Amino acid sequence: MSTTPKKKPAKSRRKAWVDTLCFDALCSNVARAYDSATADERVSGSFWYTNAHDWICRLSDDSFNWETGEITTAEQVAGMVAALSPGVRWSTNQTDAERAMQRDRGHRYSTYGKQVAKAFEIVDGADPRVVLRGPKERAFFECLLNPANREWVVLDRHALRVAIDWRATIDDVNRWTSRARVVETISRVYTYVARQLQISPCELQAITWLWFRNNHVETRYRDQ
């Protein structure tokens, strides 16, 4: 029997590069995506979170009950929207949040059951910052609540592929999001590039998200 140790299979070039996480290369990828965005994509992306925030505030104002004086706060609405966001398009996310505000437990929600449970926890009074423990949903909540913030970045599969490799598969994205170091590094990348461009990180993410969706995503996934 041979005692020669077996060689470990070599990592693919892409995976090895991802493991290295060259900060400058990641920044270049994000900056290149921003430079490639059309004027319409830049305008739409610049106002995406602001428009979403305004809608959330209107929804909160409309929830005021003149008889009881109760109101669903903007913080609660943003929390519900973030909780109900995984895997659904924005228009569906809005509809589901409106039904959750009405405490409609019979509505067929489009996201995962555990996310629906989080939304009902929030509408029933739980602190969104306690309920929303996932990095993506927490970042989405913070950006919806304060679009001008300079700390939080929503890193979904499009944002990750913009920074690392637009050719990446869903399996690649799932592997990256399971590693805190990857998510932390790419968050810093968006924050750094946004500072150089003198815009907020969530503006940069929204602009490059739109560019990526319009150029590198199959039609059936373009609203997600």
Kindly report the backbone phi and psi dihedral angles of residue 3, in degrees, each rounded to the nearest multiple of 5, phi listed first: -100, 5
- Decide if pLDDT at 3 tops 70: no
Q: What is the rounded distance in angstroms from the CA atom of residue 15 to the CA atom of residue 35?
A: 26
Q: What is the rounded distance in angstroms from the CA atom of residue 67 to the CA atom of residue 209?
A: 43
Task: Name the pLDDT band for 223 (thresholds 50, 70, 90).
Answer: very low
Q: Which amino acid is at 189?
A: V
**Residue in 119, 110, 117 with CA at minimum distance from that of residue 90:** 110
3-class SS of residue 165: coil
Name every residue whose Cβ is closer than 8 Å to that of residue 135 and which is 6 or more positions away in sequence: 155, 183
Task: Name the pLDDT band for 220 (thresholds 50, 70, 90).
Answer: very low
Q: What is the DSSP letter of 11?
A: P
User: E strand or H helix at 203, and its extent?
Assistant: helix 201-216
- Residue 208, Cβ density class (10 Å: 0-12 exposed, 13-18 middle, ≥19 buried): buried
Q: Are 224 and 87 in contact (CB under 8 A)?
A: yes
| Per-residue pLDDT tens over the stretch 110-163 | 999 999 999 999 999 999 999 999 999 999 999 999 999 999 999 998 999 999
Handedness of CA 159, 161, 166, 168 (dihedral sign): negative
For the chain, give every domain's residue range.
Answer: 17-216
Of residues 217 and 13, which shows the higher confidence score? Answer: 217
| Per-residue pLDDT tens over the stretch 191-214 | 999 999 999 999 999 999 999 999
Residue 179 has a pLDDT of 74
